[in-house]
Amino acid sequence: MCIRIPNKSQTCYQNIALLLLCMQVFVDKPVLAEGPSYAERLGWQAEDVVIILHVDDVGMSHSSNIGAIQSVEQGAANSWAVMMPCPWVSEIADYLHANPKMDSGLHLTLTSEWKRYRWGPLSGKKTVPGLVDNEGCLWRSVPQVLASASADEIEIEIRAQVDRALDLGIPITHLDSHMGTLFAHPDYFQRYVKVGIEKQIPILVPGGHLTYARQENGDAVKALKPFIQMIWDAGLPVIDDLHTHFTSQANEQKPEQLVALLKSLQPGITEILFHASDPSDIFPVITGSSAHRKGDLEALTSPIVQEAIESEGIILTTWRELMERRSKVKS
């Protein structure tokens, strides 16, 4: 165990870094959820199933934007996150200017994975050379980022993306991570936490019963668990579970698949991730997952999904509401 009393001369962020470093000794030890769920801590009842239906990759393309908007306006989705380095961010910024109460976070983007449709870091190649490939674009994969990018470069780019959103007048209700890059290394995760705490912006971190999160991302869950209490103590909300694999499921009967998923959820706060898109003729050229993303849109806009939410007594929430509730909780 690493225990040290912080020196008064240390900055807040030095203390955060120290605490994170000290807590890493527990990473290999399983930590079971104890006590009330995070939903209960935020004021819901023990039996309540509370969900965020969240659309990723907003701003990535026109098809992504239209799909996200349809998911919210015509469907059950109630939250999304924007990829700030991508070409179609200005379109979604215009939408958010007209709809400022939308639950809109930043899908912090440190990779550019598609073959012919790419983007670079907002902080510039000269500033973060470890984040770019020989085309001047962000690396295509998380392992390539891990092999080349320093934690300092990661933080610089996170801040550049936050600043760009502020420059465009985009609300930032929360932060999460495209392709999970920020969860791939403790040093990257530390910078993600640091920026969230400094700016008091909620960050996507599951820390409750983790029913689906353990199944889908067991190693990441094990690594994150020791940091959860610190994030909560810093005044940020934490969710109980995270479901990330819906987009990759078979396209047949996707609304029925979502209904089954909703009925399977445990009490607590669960975020379910989607990549809802309304494909144009060129969208399949961008991504081979075009049909899967259209399936997400069809699921979110299906009447049987809304009926299931109502019949099961499921409560919809947003990151905006989570932060409002967290600000009222003393401990």
pLDDT tens digits for 175-206? Answer: 999 999 999 999 999 999 999 999 999 999 99
The verdict on residue 253 lying in a domain is yes
The structure tokens listed for 73 are 């306006």
| Alpha-carbon span 84 to 93, nearest angstrom | 10
CA atoms within 13 A on the CB side of 155: 16
The verdict on residue 5 lying in a domain is no
The verdict on residue 8 lying in a domain is no
| Alpha-carbon span 236 to 221, nearest angstrom | 18
Three-class SS state of 2? coil
pLDDT digit string (tens) for 112-133?
999 999 999 999 999 999 999 9
The verdict on residue 72 lying in a domain is yes
Task: State how far Cα 195 lies from the chain centre.
Answer: 14
- Domain encompassing residue 178: 31-328
| Alpha-carbon span 4 to 8, nearest angstrom | 12
pLDDT under 50 in the chain at which residues? 1-33
The verdict on residue 18 lying in a domain is no
The verdict on residue 22 lying in a domain is no
Which residues neighbour 288 within 8 Å (Cβ) at sequence distance 6 or greater? none
The structure tokens listed for 169 are 């007048």
Residues 250 and 25 sit within 8 Å (Cβ to Cβ): no
Rounded to 10°, the helix 303-311/254-264 angle is 10
The verdict on residue 19 lying in a domain is no
Task: Say which amino acid occupies 50.
Answer: V
Among candidates 105, 142, 140, 136, which has minimal Cα distance to 121?
A: 136
Give pLDDT, residue 34. Answer: 63
Distances (CA, A) of 223 to 24, 53, 184, 217, 308: 8, 25, 9, 10, 34
Where residue 210 falls (left for φ over 0; alpha for ψ -120 to 50; beta otherwise) is: left
Q: Spell 128-139 as b/e; 16+ CB within 10 A means b.
A: beebbeeeebbb
Task: State how far Cα 200 lies from the chain centre.
Answer: 15
Q: Spell 75-90 as b/e; 16+ CB within 10 A means b.
A: bbbbbbbbbbbbebbe
The verdict on residue 17 lying in a domain is no
Give the CATH number of the domain where residue 262 resides: 3.20.20.370
Give pLDDT, residue 5. Answer: 29
Q: At 158, which helix (H) or strand (E)?
A: helix 151-167
Q: Domains in the chain: how many in total?
A: 1
Phi, psi of 174 (to 5 degrees): -170, 170
Among candidates 181, 261, 254, 75, which has minimal Cα distance to 191?
A: 181
Give pLDDT, residue 224. Answer: 84
